[in-house]
Every structure is written in C-alpha cells, then in structure tokens.
Amino acid sequence: MRICRFDFDIFAESNPKKMKSKIFNVLLVVGAGLLILTLNSCQQLEKLTEITFGYTYKNDTFPVPVISTTGDMDLSIKLINTNISKILDDNGVSSDHFKNAYIKSINLQMLDTTTQFTPLDFDFISKMKIYIQADGKPKKLIAQKDPIPSATDNFTLDMENIDLVSYFDKSNVQLTFSATVVSPTDHEFMLIPEIRVEFTGDIVETK
C-alpha cells in the first residue's frame, strides 16, 4: 500500500533562493486548492423556489364495447402518456425536483356517434370508479361517483386526495374505468375524460 506524506525537508534547504522557490511553489499549490474549494462552495449556493402548476389531459378516448350483462365490471382500460418530461421542462422544473402530483378533477363525457341506435346516456350505470396504475406501482382508486346523475352524458367525479407523484413521474399511466352496470347496451361508444392535475416542484436558482 502506497503512503502519501508531506516532505518537510524543503524547509531545510541550505540555499536560501532554492528554499524560497520551494516555499512559493507549496503556497501556490495550497492557494490553488483553496480557490477550487471556494468556487465549489459558491456553486453550491442554490436557492430552491417551490412552484405549483397545472396540466389538463383531455385528448384521450376510451372505447367501450357492447355490454351484454349487468353487474360490476371494467368498462375500459387504457394507457395514457403523462408527457411529464415536457410538462416539467416547460415549467423550469427538473425531474430531481419534482415533488407532488394531485388529480384535482375528472370530468367524464360520453361520445356516442351512432346513427343506427338511440344515443346513450349514463343511465345504464349506477356508479363508477376510476383506478390508476403505473409500472412498478399498484392499482389505486383515484375517483368515484355514486350515484351517477340521471339522464346525462357527462358528469364530474368525486376525487381521492392522494399524492400520485410516483405515478406521474413515469412515461405512462394506466386508467381503468369500472362501473356497476344496471342495463345492457346495444352498441359501442367512447368515454372522454378531462383530467386536471396539479403539480408541485422546485425551481433551482444559483446565487
């Protein structure tokens, strides 16, 4: 094993000029080291400013096939792109300083473009639950509605107040729309959710 040591023999130099030269070199090295430490310390003087910003996911459609039975069932399951890298970048927040994600509201609309059958509304279900899941994360309830308003093709769900940062820091999340069906349907339709999410993160400012 190699042992490093400081050679104090430089101060025992008999030639005064050589001794001054060696002392100057040592002081130069020490000064350079102190300068580097000072610069590093200055770079570490950072100010973290917390900001809150929102994003609305509203362009995803969830197809629902013909439903021939009644009871509790999953109407539609689909992956959506969180777009989180761009959202954070647009707001000046790095992924290392992404702190919280809360879904503030979900409005659900039915899109029924049939010309052959009578258009549907949400009367065929009595209640609904929405679950979220992500890679390595468990399925979690995020919203529900019981009862569903009658004779309507859109409604707003009641939210669960939970931090979902460990879900939204992934590239995709999976949403599952589960419902209690009280009457069968005779044709397909689409569910269109409008999901408002509130994010919190820190902007790093170097002093």
φ/ψ of residue 194, rounded to 5:
-115, 110
pLDDT value at 107 more than 60: yes
pLDDT for 98: 97
> What digits encode the pLDDT tens for the residues 29-68?
555 556 555 555 545 557 889 999 999 999 899 999 999 9
The string of DSSP letters for 173-193 reads EEEEEEEEESS--SS-EEEEE
pLDDT value at 27 more than 70: no
How close are the terminal C-alpha atoms of the chain, in Å? 43
pLDDT for 157: 98
> What digits encode the pLDDT tens for the residues 133-152?
999 999 999 999 999 999 99
CA distances from 173 to 95, 125, 135, 165, 191 (A): 17, 25, 8, 11, 17
Tell me which residue of 120, 129, 107 sits closest to 189, measured CA to CA. Answer: 120
> What digits encode the pLDDT tens for the residues 166-190?
999 999 999 999 999 999 999 999 9
Average pLDDT score, the chain: 86
More reliable by pLDDT, 118 or 80: 80
Once rounded to an integer, what is the mean pLDDT over residues 75-80? 95
pLDDT value at 6 more than 50: no
